[in-house]
Amino acid sequence: MGKTLLDKVWEEHTVRTLPDGRTQLLIGTHLIHEVTSPQAFGMVRDLGLKVLYPKRTFATVDHIVPTDQRAEPFSDPLADAMVKELRKNCAETGVTFFDLSSGNQGIVHIVGPEQGITQPGTTIACGDSHTSTHGAFGAIAFGIGTSQVRDVLATQTMAIGKPKVRRINVDGKLSPGVYSKDVILHIIRHLGVNGGIGYAYEYGGSTFDSFTQEERMTVCNMSIEGGARVGYVNPDETTFEYLRGRPYSPKGAEWEAAVTRWKAVSSDKDAEYDDIVHFKAEEILPTVTWGITPAQAIFIDEKIPDPKDLPLKDRDTAAEAIEHMKLPAGTPAVGIKIDVAFLGSCTNGRLSDLQEVAKHIRGRKVSDHVKAIVVPGSQVVSTIAEKMGLAEIFREAGFEWRGAGCSMCLGMNPDKLVGDQLCASSSNRNFKGRQGSPTGRTMLMSPLMVAAAALTGEVSDARKVFGII
Amino acid sequence: MALEKITQVTGRGVFIPGDDIDTDRIIPARFMKCVTFDGLGEFAFADAKAAESAAGRLHPLDDARFQGASILISGSNFGCGSSREHAPQALYRYGFRAIIAESFAEIFFGNSTTLGIPCVKMSKEDIADLAALIEKTPSIQVTVDLTESKVSTDDIDFSAEIIIPGHAREPLMNGRWDSIADLVDGLDDVKARVASISYLANS
Ligand code: SF4
């Protein structure tokens, strides 16, 4: 019987079985940021331990960094203290820090891949649930809590049970104007926000084969929104091409050896899965969320459902969502008025996301009543986008062009919704209060759908707005 | 490290209804601007409490009848969302010592176990019954018993089965719920393994 990529990576990184039956798993690459690491460094010190392999931990700042006034000290003293704390911890322990002045700072899940730190066949952990993003390279990547950040700093390992594997096949060609974001929203809509608990999601099929590396990252990123802590795609030529020549990618003879290893790590043809599900790419349309969980999603031509038409188990949450969103059942997705448009985050803040939108908005204007911001996921993305003239296109269309960070994905920096503003957002969570205002409302969608909403002032079918069909 | 052996937790309960209660709800992100976990307890469910009072309702944690509760009871997929340990830390510091729910999100479950907070699964029906008992008599003592895998109450005849996976139950009962000691014990093996993996060999 063949093995999955998860089986192979797990086996290679197993140190031993712990008394409680879990695996002591070696974490090859550890990524940290300012929010979930300070307590962990403190715990390591309090226990009289030290950072065991400082070269295997990489740090950056993203969550609390302001995206406009970036000079230190920040206006928020708490945020300022957190950046300084991380800087101090890295300096003291020898951890590599992609600081604000490095030109390489950004959202941790964008920085890892673009630096070539994220590699196939590795284990990766980060004190952030969207660490599943790195699975797009055929890595087994976990979000962890602060105590586990401590464990990884001090021992380069963590205690964890081996998940089951669900293979998710998507076959066929996506229609024009439908993106990888729609694919993952569709998957979550059908498998539920808790359908992935206990599973790693292995994504494959012809749709994934033809996806770019960045499209794969968008899907893997949101695995956790479907309850799966790990999501991955088997590495292939697309992956290797993406990694070639990046700062931390293997070089010279080491490159060839690495590619040979990476090829061998893919799931075997006869691998055994705990579950297999299928989706057809042609059936997926531009998708938006209407509620307070990422599974509360509909196609752009649908209406907000009536809770009483939903399965019993979904009704209470649907009713709660309708109350919070102030959008009655039966409201069509098209035409919902928006106040804010946010283009960015670790889901859709990459260069290809910005390119796709810039291509379509040239010469158009953001609606008068909409505040629209574009937040590149990293300084590297930002620098390239500026050189390519994308920043100018966005500015001319009336978007604010910001510095790299998590921004309005969550309410930890100055970019926040106010009151019950409704935001068309390319991020990954529509939880109550997620975007910084307890009564704020979020609708998740693809970057081009965010742009369509920004221009028309209401949720719109991007394919019509931009003449794609 | 000698940790307490957690075989049972007894205290008053509070029911926070709803499925998919996410970690942003448990502790809104703005309260995570801190370099220690101290003081997080008072912000548990801060926005949910404010929203309820704005709607003219009372959040269970604001209800005088449930003050001092140490056992939290809720719906399915409790703790979904971000990996922030600030969520179980806030609940612990608020005073919760066990959580009963229909199901738990994985990262939250692991984080809670590491802090010595048992998260036990109970059926929807039993949760509804227990919630009704607490609503009627907020002072009843609820016991989460890991040895017997059941939840019971004093005075009133309530007893229900619970599920907690062995990899959480054993460490809690043996006082090994924080895995750091076990991990440190394996350091020689860790170093050997690092040396054998090509991408790590120069670390
Ligand atoms: S962009 Fe959003 S989801 Fe991604 S790491 Fe930042 S806060 Fe988390």
Which mutation among A222, A427, A430, A442 tests ligand 1's pocket best, with the greatest number of atoms within 8 A of CB?
A427
Q: Are A317 and A432 in contact (CB under 8 A)?
A: no
B183: confidence class by pLDDT, cuts 50, 70, 90: very high
Q: Residue B156's pLDDT band (boundaries 50, 70, 90)? A: confident
Q: Give, for ligand 1, the residue of A64, A111, A345 to mutate: max count of ligand atoms closer than 8 Å to Cβ.
A: A345
Residues with CB under 6 A from ligand 1: A 62-63, 107, 109, 128, 130, 345-346, 406, 409-410, 427-428
Q: Categorize the per-residue pLDDT at B201 as very low, low, confident or very high, splitting at 50, 70 and 90.
A: confident
Contact B185, A154 (CB under 8 A): no
Do A326 and A251 lie in one domain? The reply is no
B104 falls within a domain: yes
- pLDDT tens for residues A50-103? 999 999 999 999 999 999 999 999 999 999 999 999 999 999 999 999 999 999
If one counts the domains in chain B, the total is 1
User: Average pLDDT of A310-325?
Assistant: 96
As a whole number, the mean pLDDT across chain B is: 95
Whether residues A245 and A367 fall in one domain = no
* Mean pLDDT within A363-388: 98
* Cα–Cα dist A245/A242, whole Å: 8
Chains A and B form CB pairs within 8 A to the count of: 221
pLDDT at res. A411: 86
Percentage of chain B exceeding pLDDT 90: 93
Cβ contact, residue pair B186, A15, below 8 Å: yes
Confidence of residue A442 (pLDDT cuts 50, 70, 90): very high
A275 — phi, psi (to 5°)?
A: -160, 150
Cα–Cα distance for residue pair B5/A430, rounded to 1 Å: 39
Longest alpha-carbon distance in chain A? 64
- CA-nearest of B144, B74, B132, B69 to B152 is B144
- Report yes or no on A193 lying in a domain: no
Distance A341 CA to ligand 1 centre (A): 16
CA closest to A86 among chain B residues: B35
**Predicted confidence band at A168 (pLDDT cuts at 50, 70, 90)?**
very high
Same domain, A35 and A68: yes
CB contact under 8 Å between A26 and B197, yes or no, is yes
The CATH number for B145's domain is: 3.20.19.10
Q: What angle do CA A164, A165, A169 make, to 5 degrees?
A: 160
| A252 and A295 assigned to the same domain | no
Q: What is the pLDDT of residue A159?
A: 96
Q: What's the Cα-to-Cα distance from A119 to each of A12, A29, A291, rounded to whole Å? A: 15, 9, 35
Predicted confidence at residue A20, as pLDDT, reads 86
Give the pLDDT mean for A393-420.
97
Is residue A390 assigned to a domain? yes
On the question of pLDDT at B159 being above 70, the answer is yes
Mean pLDDT on B157-175:
94
How much is the pLDDT for A231? 98
Cα–Cα distance for residue pair A1/A165, rounded to 1 Å: 15
> Which of A64, A257, A316 lies nearest to residue B18, judging by beta carbons?
A316
Q: Which amino acid does the sequence have at B123?
A: S
A246 and A385 share a domain? no
- What gap in Å lies between CA A455 and CA B121, rounded to an integer? 47
Q: With 90 as the cut, is the pLDDT of residue B124 above it?
A: yes
Regarding whether A254 and A296 lie in a shared domain, the answer is: no
Q: Is the pLDDT of residue B155 over 90?
A: no
* Interface with chain A: mutation pick from B30, B108, B117, B187, highest number of A CBs within 10 Å: B30
Domain assignment present for residue A125? The answer is yes
> How many residues make up chain B in this entry?
203
pLDDT at B1 over 70: no
Amino acid, single-letter form, for residue A287? T
Q: From ligand 1's centre to the CA of B182, what distance in Å? A: 32
SS3 B142: strand
Give ipTM to 2 decimals: 0.92
Total domains, chain A: 2
Assigned domain for B45 exists: yes
**Average of per-residue pLDDT values in chain A:** 97
φ, ψ of residue A307 in degrees (nearest 5): -50, -35
Domain membership flag for residue B88: yes
User: Domain limits at A338?
Assistant: 286-465
State which residue of chain A sits closest to B48, comparing Cα positions: A438
Domain final residue, candidates A227, A262, A297: A262
**Domain for residue A275, yes or no?**
no
Residue with the smallest CA separation from ligand 1 atom 4 is: A346
Residues A64 and A142 placed together within one structural domain of the fold: yes
In a domain, A228, yes or no: no
Position A85 in a domain = yes
- Residue B203 in any domain: the answer is no
Which tens digit of pLDDT belongs to each residue from A411-436? Answer: 899 999 999 999 999 999 999 999 99
Residue B26 lies in a domain: yes
Quick one: pLDDT at residue B157?
Answer: 81
Both A343 and A425 in one domain: the answer is: yes
Say whether both A240 and A336 belong to one domain: no
A365 and A242, same structural domain?
Answer: no
**Three-class secondary structure of residue A167 per DSSP:** strand
Q: How far is CA B174 from each of CA B108, B113, B114, B186, rounded to the nearest angstrom? A: 21, 13, 13, 19
Residue with tokens 């700093």: A153
Ligand 1 binding pocket mutation candidate from A62, A111, A129, A374 (most atoms within 8 A of CB): A62
Percent of chain A with pLDDT over 70: 100
Q: What is the CATH number of the domain that holds A444?
A: 3.30.499.10
- Is there a single domain that holds both residue A244 and residue A329? no
For residue B43, what are the domain limits? Answer: 8-178
- Rounded distance between C-alpha atoms, residue A357 and residue A468, angstroms: 13
